[in-house]
Amino acid sequence: MQLRLVEESKIHCAREHFKAISSENVVYDVVDSYDALLNKVMK
């Protein structure tokens, strides 16, 4: 999927925001499948 530059910029800003508010108790991340989610949760 090809995104416009403005869309890519918004995604980048969102990822940086969630990285900044993540802590050792709560980690925000991007997943694209249920298996990826399970892998993140089970760590």
pLDDT tens for 1-43 read 687 999 989 989 998 998 898 888 887 888 889 999 999 888 7
Angle at 40 between CA 11 and CA 26, to 5 degrees: 75
Tokens of 41: 């949760």
Query: How many distinct structural domains can be found in the chain?
Result: 1
Please give the pLDDT value at position 12. 92
So what's the pLDDT on residue 1? 66
Tokens of 28: 């925000």
User: What is the span of the domain harbouring residue 24?
Assistant: 5-41
Residues 9, 30: Cα–Cα separation, whole Å:
16
Q: What angle do CA 6, 34, 40 make, to 5 degrees?
A: 85
Task: Provide the pLDDT for residue 33.
Answer: 94
Output the pLDDT for position 36: 92
